[in-house]
Each structure stands twice: as structure tokens, then as C-alpha cells.
Structure 1
Amino acid sequence: GQWWWDTFRQIEEEDRQAPRESWERQLAALNPDYRSRPGGGGRPQTQFLRPPLVQFWKCSAIHLQGITLQNSPFWTLHTVYSRDIVISGVTILNPADAINTDAIDLDSSENITIEDCLFDVGDDAITLKSGSGADGLRINRPTRNVTARRCRILASHGGIAIGSETAGGIENVSVSDCVFEGTQRAIRLKSRRGRGGTIKNITLRDLTMDGCWCPIVIGQYFAPGVLAHERDVTLSEQPQPLSAMTPHIRDILIENVLATNVLSSAAFIVGLPEAPIDNVSIRNFSYALAPEERLLETWNTEPTEGHFHDDDRGIKVINARNVKIQ
């Protein structure tokens, strides 16, 4: 709630790197390895993992309609190992500076419809995940058969975010008739070495965007949360040995997209040299940059620790094959 985020902002402003209050020290003692855990980049000053606001674990036949969720401490609505879900007419509101406050996280779940919803949050909006690394590969539960339609997405890091936890695979996803206003990256498919799994059979069509940093991002160099000792391999631009930990992205269709007032660049499609992104079709994609005085630096397109960025504001394609842009 409000107290939590006010306290967190104070810790951030002070750049506090060690526990000070008694409750912080108690939490730090209970979580001695917290700082060394891999994660998505959520800063560790509070000494513990924040809980989701609502979580469904191994549930089925869920129907959420017409409710408002707000001020979540972490992911707002999280489904895990669940199926047969309808989310309709739901509003989710979190402060824009509230880190990790995704609206909906579908985690190793299937047969889901999200429709007629409004999201204005501090991280990704509609997010699909399926576990990460060795543990995710062992469990091997995909997220699949997901439909999202007629949603309005305002502030968020990624409007439709697929990944970066991809070990179990993410497949058979359809997104249509959605509006993105002020979203940083409207379409965002993301993974990296060490995450494993395959993103495939993704269709996104009939989308309207205004004031986005980058309308389309498909990348395998997602940098937030990479530990210091992993960087040389995880973020290397040189080919690395293929393994079960190598992520793959293929069979993506994006069509009928209108993007106005683009603030950084039009599209960013960057795969791994050892596992290029494969079979991407972009049809009827129209974009216009914002006035020059509003433009952001191009590194805002996607956080890749400085890799692959230059002053080009168009469509960048690297380490990808069978890419068709019409």
C-alpha cells in the first residue's frame, strides 16, 4: 500500500545499501543470501522478496471480472501452474515508480483469456513466464493458449511482455485490438542465455500505440538481473556453445500496427549468434517519430548493457533469419 511505497522511496533516495532499522536487520538475518540471488533487476534494499498482491497456485476455472487492484508490493495478479482462466474488465493501478509491479503474470499456466482490461503500472503489464534456468527446465511447464484482446495499457515497461523467464516454453499466444499509451515497449519478447526454453507461435495484430519508447522489441540479451560473474558469457556478442540453457524465439507474426510519437526507435530484433531469432513476419507496420525535442536516446530502446545500440531510430535486425517486413 501507500506506506510501503513511501518507505521504499525514502530508502531509494538515501541510496541505502545496508539495513538500518530494526525490522530491516531482522529481515536481512532471515534472508542472508538475498543479494546474491539472480532476479529481474528488482533492487535489494528492502532485504526480502516482496509478495504478489493476488496469487492463484494450481487452480482452475478462475473468472475475475470488474474488480480493481492497486498499490501492489510486487506482481499484482500472479497465476502459477493454473488453467482455464478468464480475466475480464479488470483494472490494475500501481505507481509508475513502483518496481516489479507487473499487472498480470501468467506463470506456467494455460488456456487464459484477458479482455477489456485497463493497466497502468510500474513494470510490465501482461506478462507471460514459464520458469527460469535449471529449475524451470526440470519442471518444464509451459505457458500456452493465451488470448488478450481489447485492453488499454498505459504506463508500463512492457505492454505485452513475453519472458524473460522462458525455460518451460511459451507458445500459442494471440493479442489483438489493444491500445498502448505511454508504454515504454509495447510488444516485448525477451530472454537471455541461461533461461532456456522456446517462445513460439505468437500472433499480435490490430494494435495502436502512442508515445511508446519502442513499439516492437524481440531480444535475447535481456540484461537486468544478470549477476556480475555471469556477464562475460551471458551478454557476450560472440557465439557460445548451445545447451538446454539456450533460449530460442521463432514463428512470430505482427500485423496491422500503428505507432505514433515513437520516442526512441521503431523496432529492435536482436538474437543470439548461436541461436538466431527465426521466422518473424511484420506486416502493415506504420510508425512516426515524435518531434525531435521529445526524442530519447536510442539506448532506451532495450536494456542490453550498451550492446547493439547506435543512433539509428529505424528497425534494427541482428542475428535473425527469415525476417520479413512489409
Structure 2
Amino acid sequence: MKPHNSYVTVIISSVLILGWLEMRVAECRVASYADKFDYPAINCRKHSAVLTDFGGVGDGKTSNTKVFEAAISNLSHYASDGGAQLVVPPGKWLTGSFNLTSHFTLFLHKDAVILASQDESEWPSLPVLPSYGKGRDAPDGRFSSLIFGTNLTDVVITGYNGTIDGQGAYWWQKFHKGELKLTRPYMIEVMYSDQIQISNLTLVNSPSWFVHPIYSSNIIIQGLTILAPVDSPNTDGIDPDSCTNTRIEDCYIVSGDDCIAVKSGWDEYGIKFGMPTQRLIIRRLTCISPDSAMIALGSEMSGGIQDVRAEDNIAINTQSAVRIKTAAGRGAYVKDIFVRGMSLDTMKYVFWMTGDYGSHPDPGFDPKALPNITGINYRDVRADNVTYSAKLGGISGDPFTGICISNVTIGLTEKPKDLQWNCTDVEGVTSNVTPKACDLLPEKEQKFDCPFPDDKLPIESVQMKTCSLTTVSFF
């Protein structure tokens, strides 16, 4: 009997041990905390949820459009109680367009990928923008952006370099074939909003423009990696449009269009809407765009562009550095532009200003609406492997004035153009510029530096808070 009793005791003990182990495994599945992240943001949130809490499926095939909508709708109730953040966990999260809410953070885990749906039924249509009057690809309307918001306050879109993939090839093909009935969606767009942060993400293959804040203020865009094929149509990187107090910094952009395009509306529609882009700083940008500009001012600038400060920026294998694009019919102004510290390599043009840029929304523009281009300042520029030093073309009867260029050294390609400075209808001065500028920009005998403001823009003084996020791992 004793051996039997011992055998029974062993069995009972084994069962108890196995049961205890199973309980421990179950406990691990329920609540084993793996990572705690700190991240910078304009505001932290009291409440947090994960996309899977609302039924999200990250297999790259299942649509999560309604999941994002339900999650954000639910979390919007916490706006007056410290706000909320929605965490997109590791996985591939297919979705169509969805709208953000105020006092809200969308946070992408480093292994999270938001995939834009190629099903057009998941992209609602919107009216044309009032300062544009017509769609860019088609006249009547536009698709909502992948991540969209309007009339919002205090919104953060960030992550630990998580990825948003616009899967743009579908849209690029339709554009090239002339099959679009609405203008292509942008990747991220916020309208009529205040206190916006977009940071620390990788954005790839947008259907059209990547990041488009419009009619908004107090915007910080930083730490973005933006990638699109250099032959993809209209894949501008960042387009601040009729915005005030914007800070763009530490971004890396490879684009089929302008890396940054500063805008404020199109011809008579932009003139009537009358909202300028002003108080903008762009610094520590790296751009690659063989057919476009590192920074373009225009061509849609009919609400005006003023007080733009570009500092310590790099362009490689890019068509031009800071380009002004305008035309008769645009009206308004581009003025008080300050550029300091450009490093350029393999450029078609270092300085390029265009006063006959076409592309009007319709024949209704007023050809007598002439733009005022004045107070354009460049200093401390080094460029290598350059084809043309400058092509500066103002408008007959409406010259571009107040151009100042100082401390510039341009190294030319092995086969440079004979006419290095091609200038018409411009007025200004230069100092310490090689090769020597055109006669319309005479060299002053006494060397000087073109101005760059000493004061700081209000957006530069905004300090980030350190926010915490705890993620849960399941075993």
C-alpha cells in the first residue's frame, strides 16, 4: 500500500505543479509588460488604448477602416479629461481614410505599418479647397486624405519610426492614364486646426502630397523620413499651405516633386481667400529630388508668403535649392525670405526664380494680378557639381526686387553652361559670390552679409514634454 500511496501522491503533486505552471502562463498572456517608451510631444495624454482593443487585425489584408473610426470616436470622449492616445501595435494595418479628433495622439510602434487601401470605396470625397477653386487632378472634388482632420486642437501623430505606406502606385497609374475623376488623396492633411505635431515616422509612397497642413497654425513637423520614387507624380514631401507659425526640422526627403512646397492658394481663388503662409522656419532638411526643388515658394502663392527662414539645409542630386515660382495672375507676394547655410551637391540650378510659371486653375484668372516678389536673401552657400549658377526671371514691368546674395561659392560640373547667370527683370546686390553674378545683381566693393533675423519665431520657443507609453507583450 505504501508504494501505491506514494505513486498517488506523485500524481497529485504533478497535477498541482502543472496547474500552477498553467496559471503562471495564463498570467503572462494577460499582463506581461515588455516595453516602456518615452517620447516627446506637445502634450501627453491621460488615457490610452491599443488598436486591437477595438478588433484591429494587422495581417495586411483585413480592412481596419471601421476599427480606426470606432477607436477614435471612443477616445474622443476623453478630450476634456486629459485626452487620449491610440497605439498602433506591430503588424500591417490596412485602412482607408479616417478622421482624427482633438486632444489626441496617434502613436505608431516601430514595427507598425499603416497600409493605405487601394479600394476607392474606402476614400470619402470632399469638396475642392476654397483657396484652390478646382482640384489639382480633376476639377470637381478630391478624395479625403488617408489621415485627415479639420477644426481640431492639440493633435499629435508620432511614433518610434513606425511606417505609413500610401501604396501610391495604384493612384500614379490612374493619374498617368487620365482616369481620375477626383483629385488623388494626400497622406496626412489637417485643416483649420491649431497645435499640430507630426514627427518621428517613415512615410512612403503617398498617392500625391505627403503632409499638407492647411489653414492652420502652430505646427511642428520633425524627424520625418519621406520616401517616394523620384519619377512619381506630385509626391511633394511637406506642403505648409496658408499656415502661420510652422516649424519643419530634421527631415529626410526623397521625392518625385518638391521636398517642401510653401503654398497659399491658387490665382483668383487664393486671392479671394486671402490667407498667407507666414512665420515659417525650415532647418536641417536633407533633400533628394532630381526634377524639383529642395524648397519651393509657390507656385500657388496667391494668398501671400512672408517671413520664411531656411537654415542649414542640404540638397543632393536636386534640380534647384530654394525656388520661387509665380506668374501674372497669381497676385499677392513672396517677401522677407531668409536663407542661410545651404550645402548643395549635383544641382542643375543653385538660384532659380520663375515669373512665368503656368498652370492656372481656369481661364478666369486676372492677368493684371501681378505678384510682388521682394526681400529675398541668401547667404553662406556652398555648392558643387553645378550646371547653372542661376536662372532668375522676373516679370516684365513687375521686376523681382531686393535680392541679396552673399558669401557663395559654386563649383561647376565638368561641362557647365557658358551663361552661368541668366537674369531678366530682377534687381539686387551680391557680395563675395563665385562665379560672379549678372550685371543686374552687381557686386559691392565692401563685403557684407545678407540679413538673417536675430529674433526667434514663436513656434521655435515651443518646448516638448516627455510622455510615457507602456506596451504589453503576450506570450
Mark yes or no: TM-score above 0.5.
Answer: yes
Q: Kindly tell me: are residues 229 and 9 of structure 1, through their superposed partners in 2, closer, same or farther at Cα, counting changes over 3 Å? A: closer
1:73 and 2:207 aligned: yes
The residue identity in structure 2 corresponding to 1:314 is: Q
Which secondary structure state, in structure 2, belongs to the residue aligned with residue 75 of structure 1?
coil
Q: How far apart, CA to CA, are the structure 2 residues paired with 1:228 and 1:168? A: 15
Map residues 118-197 of structure 1 onto 2, 5 A cutoff.
118-155=252-289, 157-197=292-332
Q: How far apart, CA to CA, are the structure 1 residues paired with 2:166 and 2:193? A: 31
Q: How far apart, CA to CA, are the structure 2 residues paired with 1:173 and 1:76? A: 21
8 A Cα contact 2:315 2:345, kept in partner: yes
Which secondary structure state, in structure 1, belongs to the residue aligned with residue 271 of structure 2?
helix
8 A Cα contact 2:166 2:187, kept in partner: no
Q: Kindly tell me: are residues 43 and 210 of structure 1, through their superposed partners in 2, closer, same or farther at Cα, counting changes over 3 Å? A: farther
8 A Cα contact 1:209 1:258, kept in partner: yes
Q: Which residue of 1 aligns with 2:350?
A: 215
Q: CA deviation at 1:227?
A: 6.4
Q: Kindly tell me: are residues 219 and 9 of structure 1, through their superposed partners in 2, closer, same or farther at Cα, counting changes over 3 Å? A: closer
Q: Kindly tell me: are residues 314 and 140 of structure 1, through their superposed partners in 2, closer, same or farther at Cα, counting changes over 3 Å? A: same
Q: Which residue of 1 aligns with 2:420?
A: 314
8 A Cα contact 2:165 2:203, kept in partner: no
Q: Which residue of 2 aligns with 1:256?
A: 380
8 A Cα contact 1:278 1:323, kept in partner: no
Q: Kindly tell me: are residues 88 and 272 of structure 1, through their superposed partners in 2, closer, same or farther at Cα, counting changes over 3 Å? A: same
Q: How far apart, CA to CA, are the structure 2 residues paired with 1:144 and 1:203? A: 12
| Identical amino acids, percent of aligned pairs | 31
Between Structure 1 and Structure 2, how many residues are aligned?
265
1:203 and 2:344 aligned: no
Q: How far apart, CA to CA, are the structure 1 residues paired with 2:244 and 2:289? A: 26
Q: How far apart, CA to CA, are the structure 1 residues paired with 2:211 and 2:334? A: 22
Map residues 230-245 of structure 1 onto 2, 5 A cutoff.
245=369
Which secondary structure state, in structure 1, belongs to the residue aligned with residue 240 of structure 2?
strand
Q: How far apart, CA to CA, are the structure 1 residues paired with 2:352 and 2:166? A: 35
Which secondary structure state, in structure 2, belongs to the residue aligned with residue 136 of structure 1?
helix
Residue-by-residue CA offset, 1:52-96 (whole Å, 9 max, x unaligned): 111010111111221111110011000110000111111111111
Which secondary structure state, in structure 2, belongs to the residue aligned with residue 127 of structure 1?
strand
Q: CA deviation at 1:47?
A: 4.1
Which secondary structure state, in structure 2, belongs to the residue aligned with residue 211 of structure 1?
strand
The residue identity in structure 2 corresponding to 1:283 is: S
Q: Which residue of 2 aligns with 1:278?
A: 401
Q: Normalization by structure 1: what TM-score? A: 0.75
8 A Cα contact 1:197 1:244, kept in partner: no
Q: Kindly tell me: are residues 10 and 126 of structure 1, through their superposed partners in 2, closer, same or farther at Cα, counting changes over 3 Å? A: closer
Which secondary structure state, in structure 2, belongs to the residue aligned with residue 260 of structure 1?
strand
Q: CA deviation at 1:229?
A: 9.5
In structure 2, list runs of 5 or more residues that go unmatched: 1-163, 433-475
Q: Kindly tell me: are residues 228 and 50 of structure 1, through their superposed partners in 2, closer, same or farther at Cα, counting changes over 3 Å? A: closer
8 A Cα contact 2:172 2:207, kept in partner: no
Q: Normalization by structure 2: what TM-score? A: 0.52
Q: How far apart, CA to CA, are the structure 1 residues paired with 2:270 and 2:173? A: 35
8 A Cα contact 1:132 1:196, kept in partner: no
Map residues 38-49 of structure 1 onto 2, 5 A cutoff.
44-49=178-183
Residue-by-residue CA offset, 1:84-110 (whole Å, 9 max, x unaligned): 011111111111111111000011001
Map residues 36-115 of structure 1 onto 2, 5 A cutoff.
44-115=178-249
In structure 1, list runs of 5 or more residues that go unmatched: 13-41, 231-241, 293-310
The residue identity in structure 2 corresponding to 1:127 is: A
Q: CA RMSD in A?
A: 2.4
Q: CA deviation at 1:46?
A: 3.5
Q: How far apart, CA to CA, are the structure 1 residues paired with 2:361 and 2:240? A: 28
8 A Cα contact 1:110 1:143, kept in partner: yes
- The higher radius of gyration belongs to 2
The residue identity in structure 2 corresponding to 1:289 is: L
8 A Cα contact 1:160 1:186, kept in partner: yes
Q: Which residue of 1 aligns with 2:148?
A: none
